[in-house]
Amino acid sequence: MVGTRPEAIKMLPLIVALRDSERFRPIVVSTGQHAALVEDVLAIGDVTPDVTFDLLQGPRTLNDLFSQVMDNFGRFFTERFGSPLSPEDAPYASGYPAAAFVHGDTSSAAAAALASFHVKLPVVHVEAGLRTSNTLSPFPEELNRQLISRIAAFHLAPTTRNKSNLMREGIDYGRIFVTGNTAIDALQLTAARRVPYTDPRLNELDDPNGPKVVVVTAHRRENWGEPLERIATAVGRLAESHPDVRFVVSLHPNPAVADTLTSHLAHVPNVLLTPALGYAEFARLLARATVALTDSGGIQEEAPSLGTPVICLRETTERQEGVDAGTVELVGTDVDRVVTAVSRLLDDELELSRRVKRENPYGDGRSAVRIVLALEHIVFDSPAPAPFGAGFDRASILGAGGSADPVAAGWTPAWSQRTLRPGTQPDELADLTDMAETQRIS
């Protein structure tokens, strides 16, 4: 289940990997929060949502969104699958879903997780264990992901730090699998697609010997109002002090965000204001950028994979790995701090070179394959995949979902032998399972 563009970006590699294995069939549900943006992202992998919820149009509060997603899910589930089955019977029912996958920390994801729990459907949390430990920063995402963690049966943590966060909250270590982040998979999925820019003004930036480029994005709810005013002021000062640098500001669709940035920066000659870019377009721009100035969580993960250091417009981050690795610097929204941090990278080639060469701690691009192999291990007791950081316990996950062991119960469906559709990478699957077997033997 996906609701926003960032969710779609990070779920796309997993949807494609599930689709390309005959053992599983994904049912893709768009909650309707950002329906058009979700469709655009999924189209990169030739994926179309099986259903898109029809949310009420117009201004919505967080409570409106939460209740509408839950109501729509309840109707969809009953119409598609009938009355909920018990966890003991569900694994053996033909055509009945095995689990609900939600990603990250949006209100759509939290609502979908709770709605799934209400029909006794085991929840798998992709990108689990990210924490700031401040429920108001980011708001409401921090509490959303903590809520999902209380519901989920299986936690797919990008890093070992994320696993430690979950264990400190009392989550059984056997229900946590460290996979790396599917954001890196998504970047690799789109890397070969040189899509054209919808804004032709961006084409002039393609020359690698051209001017330095600073990509700017800001959208987080806690930065609305005065913090966003400060961000815009900082970008204006940077543009004035660095007239040879191009500042590309990607405007969020929310008018409250776009109008503030536009009113401050539209008159600045070396600032290019562009409507929100498609994912593949933005990845192309991010790869060209010298620096990314952003409050986005996803960009903190993606930019270092492309050799672009990040100045983060937040006081805290749930992605501390990037800060520790030196790929991300937290500066908040204080104008002087923002100007100083960005200027250091624009003016000091040695410092920029150091940041560019730091290793990205978020993954190797094989997270989705690991997850599919983990699911096969849970359902069919096939070899466990080699983890990115730490493994999991099959029995613990089945127990958390309320299910007995289907293999021990003699359940052997006709499609229990793996066959691959065109587009799957069998060598990757073999590599990961071979690594797992080696670990078992040792």
CA distance 6 to 406: 34
b/e burial code for range 281-318 (CB count within 10 A of at least 16 → b): bbbbbbebbbbbbbbbbbbbbbbbbbbbbbbbbbebbb
Cβ atoms of 190 and 44 closer than 8 Å: yes
Nearest by Cα to 44 from 203, 156, 188? 188
Cβ atoms of 342 and 311 closer than 8 Å: yes
Cβ atoms of 388 and 373 closer than 8 Å: no
CA distance 51 to 48: 9
DSSP string, 101-166: EEETT-HHHHHHHHHHHHTT--EEEES-----S-TTSSTTHHHHHHHHHHH-SEEEESSHHHHHHH
The residues annotated as belonging to the active site are 105, 127, 141, 219, 221, 252
DSSP 27: -
Beta pairing, strands 271-275 & 51-52: unpaired
Tokens of 337: 């701090």
